[in-house]
Amino acid sequence: SQTIHQWPATLVQPVGSPLSLECTVEGTSNPNLYWYRQAAGRGLQLLFYSVGIGQISSEVPQNLSASRPQDRQFILSSKKLLLSDSGFYLCAEQGNYGYTFGSGTRLTVV
């Protein structure tokens, strides 16, 4: 079975500061990986997905970016955070039947 590691669990950052969220996957090779954002009371918004090292597809144009430097590592970044970047960020791996999600990072931009 797959295990998704995400950290940190909670993060408070000032507007204009940089961001780096890391996700690592155990238990599978060449996984399809995803970054989602969940705003309070709303559904999951797909931000990026990756089918392999160095391959990133962006779903929503914004000041966020993603990278996949290793097979089991997926990173979400920003050079300058906006207030609207606040939310619950989830990394996920697509298995045969559905996603396995990480425990998420709650980001508050102040």
Partner 1 sequence: QKEVEQDPGPLSVPEGAIVSLNCTYSNSAFQYFMWYRQYSRKGPELLMYTYSSGNKEDGRFTAQVDKSSKYISLFIRDSQPSDSATYLCAMRTGGFKTIFGAGTRLFVKA
By CB under 8 A, tell whether 4 contacts partner 1.
yes
Considering only residues 73 through 102, tell me which ones interact with partner 1, judged by CB under 8 A. Answer: 90, 92, 94, 97-102
Size of residue set near partner 1 by CB under 8 A: 24
Answer yes or no: are the C-beta atoms of 79 and 15 closer than 8 Å: no
Among 50, 56, 48, 44, residue whose Cα is nearest residue 87: 44
Q: Which of residues 5-24 bind partner 1 (CB under 8 A)?
A: 6
Contact letters (x/-) for partner 1, 40-79, by CB under 8 A?
-xxxx-x--x-x-----x-x--------------------
Contact 93, 31 (CB under 8 A): yes
**Which residue's CB is nearer to partner 1, number 37 or number 80?**
37
The reply to whether 106 sits near partner 1 by the rule CB under 8 A is: yes
Residues that bind partner 1 (CB under 8 A): 4, 6, 32, 41-44, 46, 49, 51, 57, 59, 90, 92, 94, 97-104, 106
